[in-house]
Every structure is written in structure tokens, then in C-alpha cells.
A and B are shown apart, each in its own frame.
Chain A
Amino acid sequence: MSPEKKATRRAWIATPLLAAVLLLGWAGFAPVSVPSRDELFEIPKGTYARRMAGDKVEILPSQIRLTLGLNDVLLLRNLDDVPQVFGPTIMMPGQSFRLPFEKASSYDFACTAHASGQMTVLVEPYPAMPWSKIRWRFFKWWENRTT
């Protein structure tokens, strides 16, 4: 093989490899941030009526993922015409409930906005290490892709 061909082949292998290393380096070391610590979910108007009519469509996700130090405050707004129970409290129509989390854990709550009546809030530790940053970015990307 001529030296030129060898160089071209090396470049073909090295370029994507370098791109992958740069991408992983960025994902693992660049600071992670979100626009707000509040993770907002709204219970839309008519939720109770739809539920009573037999509609089992899920309005809120059955699992909400939060990250300490980033988006670690759950903000719920009841836009429905009737009170809604979310875990620890009852929210009147037009009322919001802002619940901060300070410990990484899995929290199960009763929630009348869900057909199942249950909702899980998964609070994860701050992604301090490169691997956890990469994992956090992957989940964020996946969430954005599926919503």
C-alpha cells in the first residue's frame, strides 16, 4: 500500500475516533445546567371530567426524574376545575404546589391526576463525576427525544 493510501486510511479511522473522544470529553467534563430548578407539570382543565368519562389517558408521566442541584423542585399546577390530591397535599383549582427535594431517593405518591392513582418521583444525586454527567446528558437527550 502506498504511503498516501495509508495516510488516507489512518485519517478515515482517526477522524471519527477523535470526534467520539471529543464528544465524550465534552459530555463528561462540560458543566451541566438546566434553565430552572423547577420541573413544572400541569394538571389540565377537564382532567377530572375525562377521568369520570372513562378516559384513562395519562396526563402526567408515571415517573418523574429529578436531579439534586439541577432540577430538584417539583412544581405542580392544578388547572382543573376540581381539587386534585398529589401525594402529600390537596391542591385547589388554580393552586400550585412547589415541593423541593434535598435527598436522592425514590418517592412514591398518590396522585388523583393519574389513572393508576400513583406517581413516582425519582431524585438522583448531582452528576459530579464525568461518567454520571454522560449518563445525565443521555437521559436528558432521551427524555427530549420521547416527549
Chain B
Amino acid sequence: MIRRTVLLLLLGSGVAFAAPASNDPDSGAMKAGVLSPVMAAPEIKLQGSDGQALNLARYRGKVVLLAFGFSSCGEVCPITLATLAGARKKLGEAAANVKVVYVTVDPERDDAARMKKYLASFDATFVGGVGSRAEIDAAQKSYGISSTKQVYPDGNYTIGHSSSIYMIDRAGGLRAVMPYGHTVDDFVHDLKILLRQ
């Protein structure tokens, strides 16, 4: 009798773990943080590492993953870029409609050639954004990106910076923001949702 009572209590108490969030893109629920209502992604006016003017209007009709970093970054950027490259690879043919734009927060060291070489080591389709300090500051401000320079005793420096990835839909709307640390599968999941629309 006691055993049966305990069993019923356990069953009723929801001892089993709660169901995890849906991993099915068909559910429409994104892994990233979603902005509502959707507003136009702030435009950027920079030079692209491909030698052309870089602005988001160039990629209308594609899903854009926009992130900020720098080529000398030893911690966050390589992981972010490897994750984004992995997501594009996993998407297969659909990746043709996904554009990764990586804007430098270190315009003093990153020029177009350097960014092109750095990004190509992850995925040759990635486009870097470079420009003057004022142009980069304007781009950072419009996305709420913070960056802090930390100078070493030898004069070298690193830069701590916001590490989120902005997800811009085919119509140029800033739909979602993926915080740092998400997996390739999380990006694939959300990209499938954005590519369907």
C-alpha cells in the first residue's frame, strides 16, 4: 500500500525531466533570442574584404549572419567563425542563401587583405567589414556592440568585444540574436526557419 502511494506520488510529481525545447525547425521556435516587432537591421557602410562596398542591402534575398570581431582574436572569434562555417557546411546547397559578414573591431590592424585571408581560413564565402575608426564605431554603435582594448606590457593588445551573432532575414529585418556559445546544430535549426520565409 505504502509502496503504491509513493509510486503514485512520484508519477504525479513530474519526476521525469521537463521536455526540452523543440529541436524541430517546423515548430518555428528559434534557439536564438527573438526581437519583436521585427525592425529593419541598421545599415552599415563599410569596405568589404572582397574589394566592394559593404552594406546589408547587397545581400537582400539572403539570410545574413552579422558578427563583430578581429583577426588577432585568440579566443572568441575562431570559435564563432568555425561554428558559422560548420553551419553553412551542414546546410548544404541551402547555404548559398546564407551570407556571413564579419566586421572588425580592430580597424588599426585589420585591413581588407588581412580580413580576407583570415576569414578564408574558415570559409571562403565569408566577407569581412573594414573601414576607418569612425566608420567602425558607427557600425558598432548601431548594433550596441561594445569593445575594450587591453594593452599588454609589451605594447601588444587584445580587444574584449560583444560576441553575439545577429540574424537578418531575407527582407533585411533584424530577426534574432544568437548569444555566443551556441552549437552548429542550433544555427542550422534557426537558419532553416529563416530560409523558409
Contacts and interface: CB of A to CB of B under 8 A. Distances in A.
Interface of A: 25, 28-32, 68-70, 72, 83, 85, 87-92, 94-100, 102, 107, 110, 126, 128-130, 133
Prevailing SS type, chain B contact patch: loop
Contact of B35 (A68, A95, A133): A95
Nearest to A117: B146
Contacts of A30: 12-13
Interface residues of B, number: 32
Interface in B1-56: 9-10, 12-21, 29-31, 33-37, 39
B33 A90 contact: no
A44 B9 CA distance: 43
Nearest to A126: B18
A88 B12 contact: no
Interface of B: 9-10, 12-21, 29-31, 33-37, 39, 142-144, 146, 162, 164, 166, 177-180
Contacts of B21: 72, 100, 102
Contacts of B30: 100
B20 A102 contact: yes
Given A69-B17, A130-B13, 18 more contacts: A25-B9, A29-B9, A29-B10, A30-B12, A83-B144, A85-B146, A88-B178, A89-B33, A89-B35, A89-B166, A90-B143, A90-B144, A97-B33, A97-B177, A99-B33, A99-B34, A100-B33, A128-B15
A83 B141 CA distance: 11
Contacts of A129: 15
